[in-house]
Amino acid sequence: MSDLLRLATAGSVDDGKSTLVGRLLYDTKSVLADTLDAVHRASADRGLTTPDLSLLVDGLRSEREQGITIDVAYRYFATDKRSFVLADTPGHVQYTRNTVTGASTAQLAILLVDARKGVIEQTRRHAAVLALLGVPRLVLAVNKIDLVDFDETTFGRISKEFTAHATALGYSPDAVVHIPVSALAGDNVVEHSTNTPWYSGPTLLEHLEGVPVEADPHDAVFRFPVQYVIRPRTAEHPDYRGYAGLVASGTVKVGDEVVALPAGLRSTVAGIDTYDGPLTEAAAGQSVTLLLTDDLDISRGDLVAEAGTPPEVTDEFDATLCWLSEKPLSPGARVLVKHGARTVQAIVTELRARFDEQRLASVDSPTSLGLNEIGRVAIRTSEPLPLDGYYSSRRTGAFLVIDAADGGTLAAGLVGAGLPVLDGVDSCTEGGNTAPSASDDHALVSPGP
Amino acid sequence: MSAPTQQTTLDRLESEAIHIFREVAGEFDRPVILFSGGKDSTLLVHLAIKAFWPAPVPFPLLHVDTGHNFDEVIEFRDEVVAQHGLRLEVAKVQDWIDDGRLQERPDGTRNPLQTVPLLDSITSHKYDAVFGGGRRDEERARAKERIFSLRNAFGQWEPRRQRPELWNLYNGRHRAGEHVRVFPLSNWTELDVWNYIEREGIELPSIYYSHQRDVYLRDGMWLTEGPWGGPRPEETVLHKTIRYRTVGDGSCTGAVESEASDIREVIAEVAASRLTERGATRADDRLSEAAMEDRKREGYF
């Protein structure tokens, strides 16, 4: 079992995410005395009688003033079983881009709902974004269960409604767990609650400690973006030429046949170097230096891949963009695309469809894509890129869209991914297009690791 | 030769940091590593050496020297530089005070005075990427920091203008005059740092381990006498067994009472501690609820 779990939180504003995270930190004794003293003092200053645990997380001045989370906060806690890196992502609607950020690296997401409100549009939208980004597992934390008198029927109704939604998004039943909690009082967060005798499942922490995690796609095909060419040219290493990078997916062994893309140069792995000595094999997540048998012209930005199953090399492709900038995207826009370690010029030649967050449906041929909108586009690049589909390789199927003028990040790009497809019977789609077009690539099948 | 085994948390953190160093080497023209001789910046240098081996580290080091140093740390700093054949630039706060660009503060601490020499050095050397040893577990404002953190032409951190950081694709683009602060240790905790120091056998300045020292109590912290001034008449000097949990400007870095004389004992002590690293030892963070955020906005580390 992996000893590190990366997780993200998501949910609407006021659902109590920061309080839940504060509770997890507090109850796992990850909050030290001086930090807690500061929270007690700040809570008292605000006239509160019990400590406001959200103050553990909301670190910025304006966040504490407004009582909301503005920016993704990273938190670290550990139990005897695992270490956790938690991205606490804001639910305030204009900051939805942060959910995309937190979800991009998450192996599991905790989605909060308020038991009094149940599954609302924001919940559905967040779940769609988590599915789109390929977060493999979800926890639905039905929070504020104390405010509905720990009512089993309410919990059951919300669970059922969410299950239907998650299934429509492509999640299998065992990938989604529902837990009734009160972040404020601590019920079922770390300790089992006596107020919910009808609930026999794990507490939130028990689930996080035990959930199987596909840490890295070890079984996937080998992909290795070259970040840097190491050429010491010293007396000791006059002819050393190594290709430094992080294995993005799969494994590589000495003797493997590989191909360097986009040029298509084939060679054999002669060695796998690290400062601590050579390896016979390296796996996804490891930073290493590859030595090849042939002296090839390979530089930063190239991709070394398994020779038998290379990715497609193309300068025209379809992708889904999560637009993260206040500057809207129009067809014909000139941008930069950063894929792996390569940045190229690109044109967004066509906006094919937009996911309508209000109707949870898609609109064909929109004229623009605005902040927090998700759209399917066609892209042409100045140089060919070696691309995998996002769901077959989350690392080499992802790219950034960058503003060439000011360098800002405009969008998260997913090669080949479809728009969120939603259950046509959802009441929210009433009056709109009931479902996106039926083509296969719209369907979100089994979110990959 | 060895086959890969299950990657531990430390393996993953190391690989992530090496990946970050290599991205910066590939994308920037003039990076620099902030190096004070403290444990976090020593760890940075160790990781940089690993990232580029067998080639030398392709960046110089920069120390913003408050002049309020512990001798052991400066000796250690110079040893590391010599041992690995590195290049070190030193920006002395004293020079800025001497020519009037900075003024000594009434409380005598020089920690906040480091910002101007840092920004001036970044400008004059045209550094475009500046590696720091900051960790997100240190402090709440740091918890919101990106791994690649864009600073404007004034060196300021603007929390609302930070770029979303997606997957492990870092966006280092910046306009002329802007620079990027890079934090390879973002996801490390204090305990990870110590566990890694043990695993790798990394040398540290001796003051991180328990020793005898004359100290006096000020604002709840054990300070030591030095060029930054000594005890005030009302402050009593005591001989204690202490160690330093962080090392910064001597005027505001407190010692902790400790018997931990080797790495195993330090790890046990850190694991059992009920105080955070900065809370236990840094007076500058106690100024207000948002002291760190305010300093970061001004261009601090």
DSSP B113: G
Check CB contact under 8 Å for B280 and A97.
no
Sheet of B148-151: strand order equals B88-92, B61-65, B31-34, B129-131, B179-182, B148-151
Q: How far is CA A172 from CA A118, A128, A390, A418, in A?
A: 21, 14, 19, 18
Judge whether B2 lies within some domain.
no
- B23 and B106 inside one domain: yes
Confidence of residue B299 (pLDDT cuts 50, 70, 90): low
Domain that holds residue B43: 9-193+290-298
**What pLDDT, in 10s, does the model give residues B36-79?**
999 999 999 999 999 999 999 999 999 999 888 888 999 999 99
Using a CB-CB distance cutoff of 8 angstroms, which residues of chain A are in contact with residue B159?
60, 70-71
Hey, is the C-beta of B176 within 8 angstroms of any chain A C-beta? no
The whole-number average pLDDT for the span A278-298 is: 95
Nearest Cα residue in chain B from A248: B168
Q: What is the pLDDT of residue A52?
A: 74
Q: Report the distance separating Cα A439 and Cα A443, nearest Å.
A: 8
- B249 and B173 inside one domain: no
- B160 and B243 inside one domain: no
Nearest Cα neighbor of A355 from A286, A417, A293 is A417
Percentage of chain A lying above the pLDDT 90 cut: 57
Check CB contact under 8 Å for A407 and B175.
yes
The whole-number average pLDDT for the span A315-334 is: 94
Domains of chain A by start residue, with CATH: 4-210 (3.40.50.300), 223-306 (2.40.30.10), 312-415 (2.40.30.10)
Judge whether B174 lies within some domain.
yes
The whole-number average pLDDT for the span A160-165 is: 94
- B31 and B127 inside one domain: yes
Judge whether B65 lies within some domain.
yes
Q: Report the distance separating Cα A329 and Cα A375, nearest Å.
A: 10
- B161 and B184 inside one domain: yes
Hey, is the C-beta of B136 within 8 angstroms of any chain A C-beta? yes
Using a CB-CB distance cutoff of 8 angstroms, which residues of chain B are in contact with residue A228?
22, 25-26, 52
Q: Which helix (H) or strand (E) holds A338?
A: strand A334-339
- B114 and B174 inside one domain: yes
- B294 and B274 inside one domain: no
Provide CB contacts within 8 A for A440, sequence distance 6+: none
Judge whether B108 lies within some domain.
yes
- B92 and B228 inside one domain: no
- Residue of A25, A34, A56, A254 to mutate for B, most B C-beta atoms under 10 A: A34
* Cα B296-B32-B263 angle, rounded to 5 deg: 80
Q: How far is CA B241 from CA A171, B171, B238, in A?
A: 58, 47, 10
- B77 and B185 inside one domain: yes
Q: What is the pLDDT of residue A204?
A: 96
Least confidently predicted of B124-128, B191-195, B250-254, B289-293 = B289-293
Q: What is the pLDDT of residue A440?
A: 34
How many beta-carbon pairs under 8 angstroms link A with B? 187
Confidence of residue A117 (pLDDT cuts 50, 70, 90): very high
**What pLDDT, in 10s, does the model give residues A202-214?**
999 999 999 987 6
Q: Which helix (H) or strand (E) holds A266?
A: strand A265-273
Mean pLDDT, chain A, rounded, equals 85
At position A142, the amino acid (one-letter code) is: V
Residues constituting chain A: 449
- 3-state SS record for A383-445: EEEEECCCCCCCCCCEEEEECCCCCCEEEEEEECCCCCCCCCCCHHHCCCCCCCCCCHHHCCC
Q: Report the distance separating Cα B172 and Cα B179, nearest Å.
A: 9
Check CB contact under 8 Å for B2 and A402.
no
Check CB contact under 8 Å for A277 and B186.
no
Judge whether B1 lies within some domain.
no
- B93 and B182 inside one domain: yes
Sign, CA dihedral B72-B73-B78-B80, equals positive
Q: What is the pLDDT of residue B52?
A: 97
Judge whether B39 lies within some domain.
yes
Per-residue pLDDT at B9 exceeds 60:
yes
Judge whether B49 lies within some domain.
yes
The whole-number average pLDDT for the span A407-427 is: 73
Confidence of residue A73 (pLDDT cuts 50, 70, 90): confident
Residue B48: CATH number of its domain: 3.40.50.620
**What pLDDT, in 10s, does the model give residues A199-249?**
999 999 999 999 987 655 556 899 999 999 999 998 999 999 999 999 999
Q: What is the pLDDT of residue B292?
A: 63
Judge whether B89 lies within some domain.
yes
Q: Report the distance separating Cα B200 and Cα B203, nearest Å.
A: 9
Cβ B228 vs Cβ B250: under 8 Å: yes
Check CB contact under 8 Å for B7 and A278.
no
- B61 and B160 inside one domain: yes
- What total of structural domains would you count in chain B? 2
- B43 and B162 inside one domain: yes
